[in-house]
Structure 1
Amino acid sequence: MTTTLARKAPATPTPAQRRALLAALADPKGRVPEYTSTRVLDAIYLARWVHEVTNTGRAAWNARLHGYEGPTFLSINSRGRAALLTEAGRTALREAGPDGRLPEGTAWPTARTLHRDGLVEYRDANGTVHPTDGDDGVRGPLYAPYVTELGRRIVTGFPQAHRAV
Structure 2
Amino acid sequence: MATAPKKPTPAHRRALLAALADDKGRVPESTNVRVQDAIWLAHWVTEVTNTGRAAAGARWAGYDGPTFLSINSSGRRVLLTEAGHAALHGATPEGRLPENTPWPTAMTLHRDGLIEFRDTVGTVHPNDGDDGVRGPQYAPYLTAIGRRLATGFPQAHRTPETV
Is residue 12 of structure 1 aligned with residue 7 of structure 2? yes
Tell me the CA shift for residue 97 of structure 1: 1.5
> Which residue, out of 131, 134, 142, partners 1:147?
142
Is residue 157 of structure 1 aligned with residue 157 of structure 2? no
**Whole-angstrom distance in 2 between the partners of 1:72 and 1:36:** 15
Q: Percent identity?
A: 73
Tell me the CA shift for residue 98 of structure 1: 2.3
| SS of corresponding position for 2:156 | coil
Q: Deviations over 1:63-90 (max 9, x none)?
A: 1111111000000000000010111001
- Structure 1, unaligned stretches of length 5 or more? 1-5
Bigger helix fraction: 2
**Whole-angstrom distance in 2 between the partners of 1:69 and 1:9:** 27
Is residue 92 of structure 1 aligned with residue 87 of structure 2? yes
Map of 1:110 onto structure 2: 105
| SS of corresponding position for 2:155 | coil
**Whole-angstrom distance in 1 between the partners of 2:73 and 2:126:** 29
User: What is the CA RMSD across the aligned residues, in angstroms?
Assistant: 1.1
1:54-93 residue pairs with structure 2 within 5 A? 54-93=49-88
- Structure 2, unaligned stretches of length 5 or more? 158-163
**Whole-angstrom distance in 2 between the partners of 1:58 and 1:98:** 30
> Which residue, out of 20, 26, 39, partners 1:44?
39
Superposed structure 1 runs of 4+ greater than 2 Å apart: none
In structure 2, give the amino acid aligned to 1:25.
L
Indicate the structure whose relative CO is greater, using CA pairs within 8 Å and at least 6 residues apart. Answer: 1
In the superposition, the TM-score normalised over structure 2's length comes to 0.93
| SS of corresponding position for 2:48 | strand
